[in-house]
Amino acid sequence: MKISYRRTLLFALVYGVAISCFSQDKVTISYVGNMGVLIGNDKQAVLIDGFHKEYGQQYLFPPDSLIKKIISGEYDEFGTIDIAIATHQHKDHFDPVYFHSFLDFNKSSIAILSPQINEILNVEIKKQKVDLHEQIKTPDYDGKVHTFHHEGIEIKAFQCDHVNPARHKSIENTAYVINVKGVSILHVGDTNWDVVEKHLIEHKELLRHLDVAILPYWMLLEEKSIELVERLINPRTIYATHIPPNIEEVQKKGISENFQNVVLFTKIGQAMEIRDIRVR
């Protein structure tokens, strides 16, 4: 009787530890506005395109109070943000003051920004007279894949031209593949199929086995979208972002009809567990 009681206790203990380890491994994706998402859990977290301010009616943005919580590691189930990324310098994706505050408050965290964005951040850093350069990593904008490791998270960055080159040719828009806790997430920033197809073909190996792709909604609306998504990235789940608050219902319906595995991010704080989705 005694032995069986001990065995039960041991089982409960081991099982309990296994469950708690498993729950620590869950990876959540939480919407921060426009193309901004927070990915991770209370142990490891990455923010991409989340540090931005009000820019125009077409763009959802995080309130200042939410940004303060993110910077201080007190937002929802997330802890300290280990890595903050911006895909490009446009103000609906990047704010230098928020980046500066984040790096200043979190000395063991890093930012990953193209050389072009880093120049803008440097102006802010010089103004504040605090040396944060060690914390900033800059993938060159040269068509190659650049890899970074920090706190057990792997980030791969590559050139991913900005949509509408007639107007935005000089903008360095960088795509990122984030690997955290075994989950692989692609974020392409502001691009479209016309300019991105060649880059995705070039990096096809890197884009195998994607769990998640975060895309601007216009990349899901075209007639050719279904074939291109399947052939070039084929993620388990797609998150549609950059959705204007006044998007027409017919467009939302069009996206959902094109893709079974799409989630439309339209509300700040909208969050899902990535592993849950994977099991479905």
Please report, as ranges, the residues that interact with Zn ion according to CB under 5 A: 90, 190
Nearest approach in angstroms of CB 90 to Zn ion is 3
Nearest approach in angstroms of CB 174 to Zn ion is 12
Q: Which residue lies nearer to Zn ion by CB, 82 or 190?
A: 190
Amino acid in position 22: F
Q: Which residue lies nearer to Zn ion by CB, 190 or 211?
A: 190
Number of H helices, E strands in the chain: 9, 14
Q: Which residue has the tokens 């041991």?
A: 10
Q: Which residue lies nearer to Zn ion by CB, 90 or 203?
A: 90
Q: How crowded is residue 211: how many other Cβ atoms within 10 Å of its Cβ?
A: 19
Q: Which residue lies nearer to Zn ion by CB, 92 or 211?
A: 92
Q: What is the largest CA-CA distance in the chain?
A: 80
CB within 8 A of 7, min separation 6: which ones? Answer: none
Nearest approach in angstroms of CB 177 to Zn ion is 20
Distances in Å between the Cα of 23 and the Cα atoms of 27, 41, 187 are: 9, 10, 25
Nearest approach in angstroms of CB 35 to Zn ion is 9
Q: Which residue lies nearer to Zn ion by CB, 56 or 129?
A: 56
Nearest approach in angstroms of CB 230 to Zn ion is 26
Please give the angle made by the CA atoms of 63, 64 and 69, to the nearest 5 degrees. 100
